[in-house]
Amino acid sequence: MLASASPRRLELLAQIGIVPDAVHAADIDETPRRAEDARDYARRMAAEKAAAVAASQPGVVLAADTVVVAGRRILGKPADHAEATAFLRLLSGRRHRVMTAVTVAQGAVARHRLVETVVRFRPLTGAEIAAYVAGGDWRGKAGGYGIQGPAAAFAPWMQGSFTAVVGLPLAETATLLAAAGIRGGIGGTP
């Protein structure tokens, strides 16, 4: 079971031959705690999402959370055009970190991984930012961008996991799922 409404996570799972039996988005408070660092926040969100869904649904539950971090500032999903614009201005011409935490819960056992990727954006013009924001691709995406879409043109350099930046690190997720007895179409049976 996938504890996420993200269509990107479903697409990524399909790439490794995994089709969840069901999708149940977790309804939790996603507000960072005072002085909570980004790694702890991402881990907590993934674990809380998994626990919330596992409490009402039997079986293996996969949950993930992705955060974009500029300096020490956590950039969640922008609320509106103005916030998306502000995020992209902040990320323009600099490196930032993308952290995706994954939790696989099975009964009383929960397994966790955190994958950190460094992404560098080239300097963006005001016109580029305005056009991207007007296109709406920022909606529902941490940091206000989706690396798998038009924003790919903003990032000439990346160190780490591309799929983690999209929203689900596939190698680590496959390992966690295999430990829970679920294997996809690569190296196992669907």
Q: What is the 3-state secondary structure (H, E, C) of the chain?
A: CECCCCHHHHHHHHHCCCCCCCECCCCCCCCCCCCCCHHHHHHHHHHHHHHHHHCCCCCEEEEEEEEEEECCEEECCCCCHHHHHHHHHHHCCCEEEEEEEEEEEECCEEEEEEEEEEEECCCCCHHHHHHHHHHCCCCCCHHHCCCCCHHHHHCCEEECCHHHHHCCCHHHHHHHHHHCCCCCCCCCCC
65 is catalytic: yes
Query: Choosing from 21, 40, 65, 80, which is the catalytic residue?
Result: 65
**Which residues are annotated as catalytic?**
65
